[in-house]
A and B are shown apart, each in its own frame.
Chain A
Amino acid sequence: MTTAHVESPDRASLEAVWANPRGWRWASSVNHSALGLRFMVTGLFFFLIAGVLAMLLRAQLARPEAEFMGPAAYNQAFTMHGTMMMFLFAVPMLEGLAVYLIPKMLGARDLAFPRLSAFGYWCYLFGGLIITASLLFDLAPDTGWFMYTPLSSDVYSPGVNADFWLLGITFAEIAAVAAGVELIVSILRMRAPGMSLDRMPLFGWYILVTALMIVIGFPPLILGSILLELERAAGMPFFDVARGGDPLLWQHLFWLFGHPEVYIIFLPAAGIVSTVLPVFARRPLVGYRWAVIAVVTTGFISFGLWVHHMFTVGIPHLALAFFSAASMLIAVPTGIQLFAWLATLWLGRPVPRLPMLWLFGFVVIFVAGGLTGVMLALVPFNWQVHDTHFVVAHMHYVLVGGMLFPLIAGLYYWMPHFSGRMPSDRLGRWGFWLTFIGFNGTFLIMHWTGLLGMPRRVHTYAAGMGWDLPNLLSSIFGFVMAAGIVVVLIDYLLHARRGERAPANPWRADTLEWAMPMPPPPFNFAVLPQVESRHPLWQGMPEASGDAGMADGQPTALARRLMHARHGRRETPGVDPVSGLAREIIMLPGSSWLPLLAALGLAGVCLGLLSKSWLVAVAALLASVGLLLRWSWENGLAMDTMEAASQAAGLPLHPRTFDGPGRWGMGFTLLADSALYLSLVFGWLYLWTAAPHWIGPEQPPLSLAALVAIGVLVAFSALQQGRIVSSLRRARDMPGDTSGDARALARQAGIVLLAGLLASGGLLAVLATAPLEPTRNAHDAVMFVMLVYLLSHMGLGCLLSILQVLRVRRRLVGRHAPYELAVLAPWWRFTAGAVWIGIAALVLAPMGFEGLR
């Protein structure tokens, strides 16, 4: 290779390999900058629609007994307002910002799975459009954004409205989980060499914890939505009391997601604060370690508080006291962050620029929301104000204060990055004050309305309750706030197009995203940076030249190796997750239509289910599975071209390792999958112990012997796959060993497949012969779903094993490139573990229980 002699970057070859396609082919691009912006623009679009809905709601509530909207329209409007703001605006918007920023801040060229980002984006867009379209047909969901059943069941909501919610949101959540997995792996494995975890910018920590929370927190809701849709469409009574279900199971699953959701929205925004505030305070954030500990603690605690949304559902008082105390504890990590911010200002030399104004708004509103949050965690007070306008006010203080204000601060702060132009203060200040005054005018008063006894979600109210004036004021200020948002938008667009050209590192910031031209090239850094400290741009690194890697005027060997792309591959360094030392070169895939096509296939499934055209749904499902498999097949093809470049700057390309990003991606995908499965097991145990009319069968419906045989077979597949990987590892370490020979390898992979096929066939037979009546009672329904879950995992494992056998035979995988076999191993391990947990929960536990009686 001649690259070692290149001393200046070959931008032309980088441009050629990394450029996004133009014209209509634009839709096939997978670059993180393009996708991040796309996420944000789409999020803004849904935000505006949801905002208009809010104005309709306020118009209706302005006067008592108003007839502007009837109850049917009002119920659709408030449900859609909440749903769109939470699922289609807040989470995707912040994920979009993270998708845009994370590689730049951490010094990488792209995210770990660019095509997955594209797929996630299309899922989000199509899911969002499907839900939004329901508004046009007057068929929008109308049972509240938390969809409490039985109101949302087929009995009390027979229309297609609730289906729009369940299917569309689940679809959009796939996108959220995909982005979550991608962000985790990118943050852990794709940073600038030298950026150890304790040198990582705080924003990276915030996004890491958020993404982990998404990966663990969304699956319970995805499961709940699947179960509720199965109840509605197929009559399986998970939540129907009369048939052994329990509506409270829905509430548990929903809030198991719903409370972490609040922090999923707050943490990235707090990450913006921790990034922007120190820059304008002109000093590093005080207490970096404290902040990291606080963020991680928040993530943990947030999974232990969901019950505080359910204080009035008749849970024993002792349990309530526990959840009450736990809910208040969240004030500690939040307080640590707050006082770290205040101390940073105190010890710094703050400059009052426009983003700081929005951060001030954030502090006022969010602290107020946090204080009412502590009040709400107190059980007796909660019993009074729960489900009133007090809660509506609290929630808007937390979410608007905790998310929208920091977001706008961040959008102004990074405007030079998106557009190359600077914001100015004049119109921006008007926008801020209108929004701030409008917001507080609307929602501060709303606390009072709630204390006067006005329940939430009422489409109108009687005169003479003392609610007329506060509601009128809330409505008027609501429109002031809307005007503020319009001014902000105009200001933003004007400056992004016509503002002053941004100089290099305009805010004198410390993080790497400012060490590149603005707007950035698709590969971010021509010369990849080598990081020596927590604040690279405050410690002597050249700014904005795009040549950040030249710390001492000389690029590192690795940076030199990556300064060109004449081999036609997209490459970025992979690092050790903790130390940040470079350990391989990660090849990234380029533009492709497959993500869009696969997402279109899933949209077809969604529409087929909505219109109850089962054939369409099945056909679309098969098509998208086919496309996804095609995608996985194509992903490795680039390896043909890498033969010449197996080593680069002493580092292997990732398919030659056992531990590339795909392995990590598989790990975190399985983490999400475990969360889903454990939620299902929780549902089983919950219904068994708590459903008022649980009906257990006389005879155990499943044969223990058959299940154990299946479990042994799957465990064998898992062990065999593990043996293959360790034999390949041995072969790598001992060149004389021939166990990696292609034919032998294909045979070994074939054995995994054979055992998997036998197990799948066995489980299919169990499922077909067991006397289960999933529409008669919840017991059989849960059992059925669990078996189908296990069967689908075995089936997919077999499909992947077939692909592996083929790929080994084609020599795409083998001793020279063992990576994919190592990626598949955790799948079989997980499946085996799931089968045994299933046996324990479905057969052994009931048997033991019978024995005890």
Chain B
Amino acid sequence: MSAARSPGRQGLLVARIPGVFALLAGCSGPQSMIDPAGPAAQAVAALWWWMAGFSAIVLALVCAIWLYAMRRAPRGRTPQQERRIASRWIIGGGIVLPMTSIIVLLAFGIPIGQRLLPGDTGPEPLRIEAIAHQWWWEIRYPGVEESFVNEFRLPVDRPVDVHASSRDVIHSFWIPSLGGKIDAIPGRIHVIRLEATKAGRLRGACAEFCGLEHARMTLDVHAMPTDEFDRWLGERQGTVRP
């Protein structure tokens, strides 16, 4: 996976991130969430850079105040002045600053989260089942009898609903460059919507610790151009039963 792509068509305003971050992300591997290959991961990566920048400023300010306060010469103040300064600091820094940050963050964050959910709008999503086992993934496609081991193919530019379930312990289905993760829990089926916007090889992993070989429970992800994927799926759907 090479250089990060420019903000996509679904990119929010905040997604138009400076190129320097794209360079940073460019040195990452096939399982990176800051080298996004789909709108969900793209939105979250942009969110991350904004939050990181803001946090860095807050942290630097707090440290600067601390260091300056340690060094500067003390000055005389009346108790009234002291009280005024104190309540200004506590109310400004302790209440106003966090509350404003939280409101801004939620205002951006909740809509992004909403968009990552399976919704009713848009094109009909492709349904793919991901069944977790200790320590491998069984991937199933509609109308295809055979199942695939640790191999996950999806078409580009078409939403995919991954139906994650487990045959034994709790696992978690995760392709970082496409989007968030969803736990595969015995007795339940959870759905996560993913979409790839560029073709290529990606990598996924089990994110929830699932025992001895948890580290080896990875997933080869192949985002394919739509026609190529349709041909591949059609062949599988039309082939004889094993």
| Residues of chain A whose beta carbon lies under 8 Å from any beta carbon of chain B | 71-72, 75, 143-144, 148, 150-151, 156, 241-242, 246-248, 286-287, 290, 294, 312-314, 317, 320-321, 324-325, 328-329, 331-340, 342-343, 345-350, 352, 356, 360, 363-364, 367-368, 371-372, 374-375, 378-388, 451-462, 464-467, 691-693
Q: Are B102 and A331 in contact (CB under 8 A)?
A: yes
Within the complex, what minimum Cβ distance (angstroms) separates A278 from chain B?
13
Q: Which residue of A lies closest to B36 (CB)?
A: A384
Give chain B interface residues in 1-41, CB to chain A under 8 Å: 27-34, 40-41
Q: Are B181 and A328 in contact (CB under 8 A)?
A: no
Q: Are B169 and A467 in contact (CB under 8 A)?
A: no
**Interface membership of B155, Cβ < 8 A:** no
Q: A348 to B40, alpha carbons, bound, how many Å? A: 49
Closest A-B pairs by Cβ, 9 of them:
A383-B180, A241-B187, A336-B94, A453-B31, A339-B93, A458-B215, A466-B29, A465-B29, A345-B69
Q: Are A339 and B94 in contact (CB under 8 A)?
A: yes
Per-position contact with A for B135-172: 1 when CB-CB < 8 Å, else 0?
00000000000000000000000000000000011101
Q: Are B102 and A325 in contact (CB under 8 A)?
A: yes
| Residues of chain B whose beta carbon lies under 8 Å from any beta carbon of chain A | 27-34, 40-41, 43-44, 47-48, 51, 55, 58-59, 62-63, 65-67, 69-70, 74, 77, 82, 85-87, 89-90, 92-95, 97-99, 101-102, 105-106, 109-110, 112-114, 116-117, 134, 168-170, 172, 174, 176-177, 179-183, 185-188, 190, 203, 205-215, 218
Chain A residues whose C-beta falls within 8 Å of the C-beta of B174 in the assembled complex: 387, 455
Chain B residues whose C-beta falls within 8 Å of the C-beta of A461 in the assembled complex: 215
Chain B residues whose C-beta falls within 8 Å of the C-beta of A345 in the assembled complex: 65-66, 69-70
Q: A497 to B205, alpha carbons, bound, how many Å? A: 53
**Choice from A313, A343, A350 contacting B90 with Cβ under 8 Å:** A343
**Choice from B47, B105, B180, B188 contacting A328 with Cβ under 8 Å:** B105
Q: A461 to B43, alpha carbons, bound, how many Å? A: 27
Q: Are A455 and B186 in contact (CB under 8 A)?
A: no
Q: Are B181 and A331 in contact (CB under 8 A)?
A: no
Q: A328 to B176, alpha carbons, bound, how many Å? A: 24
Q: Are B186 and A241 in contact (CB under 8 A)?
A: yes
Within the complex, what minimum Cβ distance (angstroms) separates B94 from chain A?
3
Chain A residues whose C-beta falls within 8 Å of the C-beta of B34 in the assembled complex: 451-452
**Choice from A371, A374, A381 contacting B59 with Cβ under 8 Å:** A371
Q: Are B183 and A338 in contact (CB under 8 A)?
A: no
Q: A148-B208, A378-B47 are in contact. Are A290 and B181 (CB under 8 A)?
A: no
Q: A72-B212, A312-B183, A328-B106 are in contact. Are A381 and B69 (CB under 8 A)?
A: no
Q: Are A379 and B30 in contact (CB under 8 A)?
A: no
Chain A residues whose C-beta falls within 8 Å of the C-beta of B77 in the assembled complex: 347
Q: A342-B62, A452-B29, A452-B34 are in contact. Are A383 and B181 (CB under 8 A)?
A: yes
Residue pairs across A and B with Cβ atoms less than 8 A apart, 8 shown, are A151-B211, A247-B187, A313-B185, A340-B90, A342-B66, A356-B70, A360-B67, A374-B55
Chain A residues whose C-beta falls within 8 Å of the C-beta of B47 in the assembled complex: 378, 380-381
Q: Are B55 and A375 in contact (CB under 8 A)?
A: yes
Within the complex, what minimum Cβ distance (angstroms) separates B99 from chain A?
7
Residue of A312, A328, A374 contacting most chain B CB atoms (<10 Å): A312
Q: Are B110 and A321 in contact (CB under 8 A)?
A: yes
Residue of A151, A380, A456 contacting most chain B CB atoms (<10 Å): A380
Q: A343-B86, A381-B48 are in contact. Are A150 and B170 (CB under 8 A)?
A: yes
Within the complex, what minimum Cβ distance (angstroms) separates A460 from chain B?
5
Q: A460 to B205, alpha carbons, bound, how many Å? A: 13
Chain A residues whose C-beta falls within 8 Å of the C-beta of B40 in the assembled complex: 380
Q: Are B32 and A452 in contact (CB under 8 A)?
A: yes
Q: Which residue of B lies closest to A312 (CB)?
A: B183
Q: Are A287 and B74 in contact (CB under 8 A)?
A: no
Within the complex, what minimum Cβ distance (angstroms) separates B203 from chain A?
8
Q: Are B95 and A335 in contact (CB under 8 A)?
A: yes
The dominant DSSP class at the A interface is helix
Q: Are A466 and B170 in contact (CB under 8 A)?
A: no
Q: Are B90 and A379 in contact (CB under 8 A)?
A: no
Q: Are A453 and B32 in contact (CB under 8 A)?
A: yes
Sample of 18 more A-B contacts, CB < 8 Å, known A156-B169, A451-B33: A71-B212, A144-B209, A247-B170, A312-B181, A314-B182, A314-B188, A321-B106, A324-B110, A328-B98, A345-B70, A346-B89, A374-B102, A375-B48, A380-B44, A384-B176, A387-B172, A453-B32, A453-B177
Chain B residues whose C-beta falls within 8 Å of the C-beta of A453 in the assembled complex: 28-29, 31-33, 176-177, 203, 205
Q: Are A343 and B89 in contact (CB under 8 A)?
A: yes
**Choice from B30, B92, B176, B215 contacting A339 with Cβ under 8 Å:** B92
Q: A451-B32, A452-B28, A455-B205 are in contact. Are A286 and B48 (CB under 8 A)?
A: no
Q: A287-B86, A314-B185, A328-B102 are in contact. Are A458 and B214 (CB under 8 A)?
A: yes
Q: Are A380 and B185 in contact (CB under 8 A)?
A: no
Q: Are A380 and B65 in contact (CB under 8 A)?
A: no
**Choice from B41, B168, B206 contacting A455 with Cβ under 8 Å:** B206
Q: A384 to B46, alpha carbons, bound, how many Å? A: 12
Q: Which residue of B lies closest to A341 (CB)?
A: B66
Chain B residues whose C-beta falls within 8 Å of the C-beta of A143 in the assembled complex: 209, 211
Chain A residues whose C-beta falls within 8 Å of the C-beta of B186 in the assembled complex: 150, 241, 247
Q: Are A386 and B181 in contact (CB under 8 A)?
A: yes
Q: A321 to B74, alpha carbons, bound, how many Å? A: 46
Chain A residues whose C-beta falls within 8 Å of the C-beta of B170 in the assembled complex: 148, 150-151, 247
Q: A499 to B226, alpha carbons, bound, how many Å? A: 75
Chain A residues whose C-beta falls within 8 Å of the C-beta of B209 in the assembled complex: 143-144, 148, 151, 387, 456-457
**Choice from A248, A383, A465, A691 contacting B31 with Cβ under 8 Å:** A465
Q: Are B86 and A286 in contact (CB under 8 A)?
A: yes
**Choice from A320, A375, A692 contacting B187 with Cβ under 8 Å:** A692
Q: A372 to B94, alpha carbons, bound, how many Å? A: 17
Q: A368 to B69, alpha carbons, bound, how many Å? A: 20
Q: Are A332 and B70 in contact (CB under 8 A)?
A: no
Q: Are A383 and B70 in contact (CB under 8 A)?
A: no
Q: Are B87 and A364 in contact (CB under 8 A)?
A: no
Q: Are A387 and B181 in contact (CB under 8 A)?
A: yes
**Choice from B82, B93, B112, B205 contacting A335 with Cβ under 8 Å:** B93
Q: A381 to B77, alpha carbons, bound, how many Å? A: 45
Chain A residues whose C-beta falls within 8 Å of the C-beta of B67 in the assembled complex: 360
Within the complex, what minimum Cβ distance (angstroms) separates A12 from chain B?
47
Q: A286-B90, A335-B98 are in contact. Are A385 and B33 (CB under 8 A)?
A: yes
Q: Are A151 and B169 in contact (CB under 8 A)?
A: yes
Q: A430 to B176, alpha carbons, bound, how many Å? A: 40
**Choice from A294, A380, A467, A693 contacting B112 with Cβ under 8 Å:** A380
Within the complex, what minimum Cβ distance (angstroms) separates B43 from chain A?
7
Q: A332-B95, A372-B55 are in contact. Are A290 and B109 (CB under 8 A)?
A: no
Q: Which residue of A lies closest to B87 (CB)?
A: A287
Q: A336-B95, A451-B33, A453-B29 are in contact. Are A156 and B211 (CB under 8 A)?
A: yes
Q: A335-B93, A380-B112 are in contact. Are A350 and B31 (CB under 8 A)?
A: no
